[in-house]
Amino acid sequence: MNVFVSGWAGFKEVLEKIPESWHFINPFLDLDEGEILNFLQDKSGNFVIGWSTGGHIVLKNLRFFSERFEEIIIIAGFKKFTQYVSPRIIKKMILKMEIQPEKVIKEFLINAGCKPVIPKEIDYNKLIQGLEFLIYSEISDLYREAKNLILIQGLEDKILPIKALEDLKNCYHFAKTFLVNGAHWITFEEILKIKASEYI
């Protein structure tokens, strides 16, 4: 079983070429953090990829994922989101989500390097819960025995500074890190190229 844990508003429709064979989880829209862990409790597989919020959830529960998956890939991950993005900005997004949710989501997706597409029948309240999660969630328990951990960030990331990758590298000295051409989201094809490169 291969699992992709997406980011905030990271609908499958806006991301490119994620194989249908991968189990796709959109945090908060599908499952919250605890529900993700409950769902995967009795499952295992070769790969788990976490992007942005999804990457944070995977790193926050690194021992759990390391015990169930052979390799872990994190794209645009972070230890605590508000180390790099002011809580005031997130709170403004929450307020705007209550008035103009589609505008907020499309602006975010464009900045993230994704197609500004919003699927029908989205529960905006769950996306607001995801923003609230980003204000307070922090990795406090650093699991330092994970094997085959890869950290990736795009050079043109408009959501997170490169320091987010540097800080994770300092936390996880054993991880392989890659700074690549790309935005907050890089294509799935690029992820696989990194995985298959001679440096890994």
pLDDT digits (tens, 9 = 90+) for 111-159: 999 999 999 989 999 999 999 999 999 998 888 777 789 999 999 999 9
CA torsion sign, 78 to 83 to 85 to 90? Answer: positive
Distances (CA, A) of 152 to 4, 61, 85, 182, 185: 15, 18, 19, 10, 10
Q: Find tokens 């796709």 and name the residue.
A: 24
pLDDT digits (tens, 9 = 90+) for 150-196: 999 999 999 999 999 999 999 999 999 999 999 999 988 888 888 87
Q: Phi first, then psi: what are they for 153, rounded to 5°?
A: -145, 150
User: Which CATH architecture fits 3-196?
Assistant: 3-Layer(aba) Sandwich (3.40)
Residue 174: CB partners within 8 Å, gap ≥ 6?
Answer: 144, 146, 147, 149
Q: What pTM does this model have?
A: 0.95
Round to whole Å and give the CA distance between 24 and 12.
8
pLDDT digits (tens, 9 = 90+) for 27-61: 999 999 999 999 999 999 999 999 999 999 999 99
Q: Find tokens 């690194």 and name the residue.
A: 62
Nearest to 127 by CA among 157, 153, 96, 158: 96
For the chain, the average pLDDT equals 94
Q: How confident is the model at residue 16 (pLDDT cuts 50, 70, 90)?
A: confident
What letters, b where the CB count within 10 A reaches 16 and e where it falls short, cover 102-111?
A: eebbbebbee
Boundaries of every domain in the chain = 3-196
Q: How confident is the model at residue 198 (pLDDT cuts 50, 70, 90)?
A: very low
